[in-house]
Amino acid sequence: MEKQQKMSVLLLIDSNTIYQLAIKTARILTTKQYELRNITWSDGESNPDTGFSELACTVCKDAWNKMKINNPDFTEIDITCSKPDITIVATYPDKSSTKHKIELKSSKSTKMPGSTINKLDINQAMIYCLRPHTETEAYHLKCSQYYSAMGSSNIDLFQDRTPRPSINFEKMNELDNTLPFDRRDKNDWILHFANCGLKRIEKTTVCNPSWQDDMIKIMKKKIIEEYIMNTTEEQFRLDKKMSSQVENINIS
């Protein structure tokens, strides 16, 4: 019975554990400036098959061993890390295993194309390496859940194909100020574009005009007209009261 209870604890490697591992990995990578400078970087989006992935995998293994020292429940769990990105296989005492992934991104720019949304786990951990423009500058690394970095700005346009939200380094956590793991619904990206659409048509917003702005204005007008047509005075008062309550909650 005691062995079974121990096993149930050992099998708790979950997304939060991998997120914490990613943070520790990124912190160690920050100290590897010499190794980072000696990587042959490409001009691609994430370099999943290059030296960055190899270095990150080595560091991730080291980070896991450090985590095991402070977490006795993980003592008997071994991991292997391999390309692409950091592909992790955790092996348990009963020889069972689970697979996990830490996404790697690198660029000299703070913004870059992201992954296609229908193939994306927006809750996964991501390490972004911002490469310097000169030899005297340091490599800057951040770690967040993927969704935290999604969206280039608050006036992003809709995309005319399967959405591929851009990744924004500036929206990610500094390694000395990381946020706790927070699971989001995959469709949360839709709210981002909805907010951007409304922001774009505000009179005070400065942005390049798009046909989408006219579409949003027409949709907003039609939604308001339909609401007025189908809403009683009593329902309007209830909706207004509920809206005020939500606004007060958000302010507090």
- How confident is the model at residue 243, as a pLDDT? 75
Query: First and final CA of the chain: distance in angstroms?
Result: 48
What's the CA gap between 43 and 228, in Å, rounded? Answer: 53
Q: Output 178 or 241, whichever has higher pLDDT.
A: 178
Tens of pLDDT, residues 62-72? 999 999 999 98
- How confident is the model at residue 85, as a pLDDT? 94
- How confident is the model at residue 231, as a pLDDT? 87
Is the pLDDT score of 44 beyond 60? Answer: no
Do the beta carbons of residue 5 and residue 157 sit within 8 Å?
Answer: no
Write out 42-99 in H/E/C secondary structure. Answer: CCCCCCCCCHHHHHHHHHHHHHHHHHHHHCHHHCCCEEEEECCCEEEEEECCCCCEEE
Do the beta carbons of residue 73 and residue 9 sit within 8 Å?
Answer: yes
H or E element at residue 128: strand 125-130
For the CA atoms of 80, 13, 98, 27, the dihedral, rounded to the nearest 10 degrees, stands at -30
What's the CA gap between 103 and 126, in Å, rounded? Answer: 4
Residue type for 9, please? V
What's the CA gap between 78 and 97, in Å, rounded? Answer: 9
Of residues 176, 126, 170, 150, the one with CA closest to residue 15: 126
Is the pLDDT score of 190 beyond 50? Answer: yes
Is the pLDDT score of 6 beyond 90? Answer: no
% pLDDT > 70, the chain: 86
Is the pLDDT score of 18 beyond 50? Answer: yes
Tens of pLDDT, residues 192-237? 888 888 999 999 999 888 888 888 898 889 888 988 888 888 888 8
Mean pLDDT value across the chain: 85
- How confident is the model at residue 251, as a pLDDT? 43
Distances (CA, A) of 225 to 49, 195, 239, 244: 54, 20, 16, 21
- How confident is the model at residue 47, as a pLDDT? 47
Tens of pLDDT, residues 98-131? 999 999 999 999 988 887 777 789 999 999 999 9
Of residues 59, 25, 189, 29, the one with CA closest to residue 115: 189
Weakest mean pLDDT among 90-94, 132-136, 142-146, 188-192: 188-192
Which residues face 105 on adjacent strands? 128
Weakest mean pLDDT among 3-7, 83-87, 101-105: 3-7
What's the CA gap between 126 and 102, in Å, rounded? Answer: 6
- How confident is the model at residue 4, as a pLDDT? 45
- How confident is the model at residue 233, as a pLDDT? 85
